[in-house]
Amino acid sequence: MNILVIGRGGREHAILWSLKRSDKVKQLYCAPGNAGTAQIAENVDIGEFEFDKLVQFSLDNAIDLVVVGPDDPLAAGIVDVFEAAKVPVYGPRKNAAEIEGSKIFMKNLLKKYNIPTAKYETFTDYETALAYLREQPLPIVIKADGLAAGKGVTVCFTREQAEEALRETMVSKSFGAAGDKVVIEEFLEGQEMSILAFVDGETVRPMSAAQDHKPVFDGDKGPNTGGMGTYSPLPHIPQSIIDESIENIIKPTAKAMVAEGRPFRGVLFAGLMITKDGPKTIEFNARFGDPETQVVLPRLKTDLVDIFLASINGRLHDIEISWSDEAAVCVILASGGYPGSYPKGFPIKGLDNVGDALVFHAGTAEKDGEIVTSGGRVLGVVGRGADIAQARAKAYEAADRIHFEGKQNRTDIAAKALVQA
């Protein structure tokens, strides 16, 4: 098969790496890709939003399957465009991707179907939102309705911070039109976990659970990022909690989407908080997580091509999916300054000195035969081992051998799992 993966991050590099292991694959393409995807696929210089060009490329190159990585082209309806052109495509249609594209849609869906989530109110008017905010207990969470590269959520511990976040979102428009509407919601206390699932209508095939680290600095300090590191599995979380999340949150949500006439086909990703009252939904994403994918797919034993094809052909229920017992830990190496502004173009050294660690490229480019930084999150370094401690040691050993100017990374990825295991 000829397969085209759309996107340019670590998630897409990990998807390609996993596809590459399948004996059904003839040629892999990535549009637009990065310097890492270029090593296992042919990069195609077409952007994620150039739908017509992507379709034309697929028709011209006998593409048998298109896999869409990022959230924004999904929310913009890229899958509907490929379907109309009769090109097989894996991912949710526009009306199903709205579960991520609009937090208000997601919250109202969960409320309607009694699926556990934080209590909330939604607002389109700043003054009304501010008046409500002033009456709420702290901490309180303010969320831009639309997509904001993982940065549209502020957890506020003081009144000043809360009012500032609301102003930034609704008045200063720091997240653009995503902040025209906001959700103000109850703060949930507990540990977070991510459960991704392959979903086709009411069929749910969960992946092994993972945990992300969103804040930029150690100890969960500093502003939120797209994710600074992940690990899987979660030895300190009882299987009963994972099962409860699947039964009470993910399966009912898949069912609700069918009932709403928006059947979901693709990866449904639940961001969950394990509260003292059980798991509750923080968010839903309509795609693979980044960097969750980097630790989950290396543990997948089933052929990923088979899973995608079964979904597209309405046979996902026939597939048994199995996972390796091995643990995986991903440490993100980011540019100095991220998630704020940062300089780019620094040469990256040590990439070929990482032993058996996997290095998934996120923000890299090739310049004059050299690999250089070109994004906020630059690389995801993945260590694998018999348990989290071993995987973590390997990831950090490899991460320490890679250098570029301004490199920053968290040093406490997966530390929680060690303390509580």
**Residue type at 153?**
V
Q: Name the residue nearer to ligand AMP (CB basis): 285 or 373.
A: 285
Residue 64 in the binding site for ligand AMP (CB under 6 A): no
Locate 32 and state its tokens.
Answer: 């637009």
Q: What is the DSSP letter of 35?
A: T
91 binding partner (options ligand AMP, ligand GLY, none; Cβ < 5 to 8 Å by kind): none
Nearest to 265 by CA among 226, 331, 315: 315
Report helix, strand or coil for 383: strand
290 binding partner (options ligand GLY, ligand AMP, none; Cβ < 5 to 8 Å by kind): ligand GLY
Q: Which of positions 207-246 make contact with ligand AMP (CB under 6 A)?
A: 214, 224
166 binding partner (options ligand AMP, ligand GLY, none; Cβ < 5 to 8 Å by kind): none
Number of shown-chain residues binding ligand GLY (CB under 6 A): 8
Shortest CB 27 distance to ligand GLY, Å: 27
Residue 270 in the binding site for ligand AMP (CB under 6 A): no
Residue 153 in the binding site for ligand AMP (CB under 6 A): yes
Q: How many CB atoms within 10 Å of residue 39? A: 16
Locate 5 and state its tokens.
Answer: 């993966």
Q: Name the residue nearer to ligand AMP (CB basis): 36 or 291.
A: 291
Q: Which of 10, 150, 179, 298 binds ligand AMP (CB under 6 A)?
A: 150
Q: Which secondary-structure segment (H or E) carries 278?
A: strand 278-285
Residue 285 in the binding site for ligand GLY (CB under 6 A): yes
**Window 121-150: contact mask with ligand GLY (x via CB under 6 A):** -----------------------------x
Residue 271 in the binding site for ligand AMP (CB under 6 A): yes
Report helix, strand or coil for 92: coil
Q: Name the residue nearer to ligand GLY (CB basis): 180 or 192.
A: 192
Residue 212 in the binding site for ligand GLY (CB under 6 A): yes
Spatial contact of 375 and 363, defined as CB atoms under 8 Å apart: yes
Spatial contact of 282 and 212, defined as CB atoms under 8 Å apart: no
Q: Which of 48, 145, 290, 303 binds ligand GLY (CB under 6 A)?
A: 290
Residue 227 in the binding site for ligand GLY (CB under 6 A): yes
Residue 198: burial class (beta carbons within 10 Å; 0-12, 13-18, 19+): buried
Nearest to 403 by CA among 376, 369, 378: 378
Scanning 24-32, 247-255, 284-292, 321-329 for contacts with ligand GLY by CB under 6 A, the matching segment is 284-292
Q: Which of 64, 100, 185, 200 binds ligand AMP (CB under 6 A)?
A: 185
Nearest to 178 by CA among 148, 154, 142, 141: 148
Q: List C-alpha distances in Å: 269 to 8, 194, 280.
A: 19, 7, 13
What distance in Å separates the CA atoms of residue 387 and residue 373, rounded to the nearest whole number?
A: 31
The residues that touch ligand GLY, with contacts defined as CB under 6 A, are 150, 212, 226-227, 285, 289-290, 292
